[in-house]
Amino acid sequence: MTELPEITDSHCHLDFPDFEGRLDKVVADAAAAGVTRMVTICTRLRLEPSVRAIAEMHDRVFYAAGTHPMSAADEPMATVKQLTDLARHPKMVGIGETGLDYHYTADSAARQQESLRIHIAAARETGLPLIIHARDADDDMARILTEEYRNGAYACVMHCFSSTATLARAALDLDFYLSMSGIAAFPKSQELRDIFAAAPLDRILVETDAPYLAPPPHRGKRNEPAFVAHTARKGAEVFGLEYAEFAARTQANFDRLFAKAAAYEANAR
């Protein structure tokens, strides 16, 4: 039997109720699909202990922590110290997700922007990559990311990227990464696939955002880390590569951006 190429789900939410009581199987199913690493994302800092516990229980699961922009109005404002203190954990490998979402929560735009700048400062101080959620806020997002980069460089991934070519270019001009989710595999997402195709291959990651946004052939069902392989196969088509080559390139990209995770694995061998 041919061994499957290894791939990483760079963004999922394993602490969500959808996976309760099933985590061992979810992780095993992912491994069977070649998905050997996952980054599970904490979206409310008060829930960080439970997200951290998942990473501690599973060798190939890492985690990130931050305040999701849609929760910014309901949660205590994070502090740089709070985030940098959490980042001391050996398996916390990213800051966020943070960002701007004006689709449903435009009324909290000012608070979202304040939270975003705090997370950027923490990413800059820790050297960990910033994980950005952007929805219907492209102009403010590009402006803040660029302003803050001028104040001091930091690394960043535009998670579940499904915004405009303009925001993609702004992010890429800062040497940030774009992450492909199941949306990029939807039949009607050709415009989005064209945006990815125009990006440098060494700036591409893949993710599920599980339990959301399952790619075909699982669209409409609960998404799982194993399904990132379907998105990656579509990504290989977009870049005109064999699946094994695309998987290897995105693995190298993940190792470069999430260097703390790569170092942890190297030390564990």
Binding site as annotated, residues for a divalent metal cation = 11, 13, 97, 133, 159, 209
Backbone angles phi, psi at 58, to 5 degrees: -125, 120
The two three-digit tokens of residue 80, written as one number = 């740089």
- For 206, list phi and psi in degrees, rounded to 5: -130, 155
* Residues 6+ positions from 128 with CB-CB distance below 8 Å: 64, 87, 92, 93, 94, 95, 122, 155, 260
Cα(189)–Cα(167) distance, integer angstroms: 17
Phi, then psi, of 257 in degrees rounded to 5: -75, -45
92 to 86, 107, 145: CA distances (angstroms): 7, 31, 22
Q: Are 157 and 176 in contact (CB under 8 A)?
A: yes
210 to each of 15, 136, 230, how far by Cα in Å?
A: 10, 21, 13
Structure tokens at 150: 């001028």
Binding-site residue positions: 11, 13, 97, 133, 159, 209
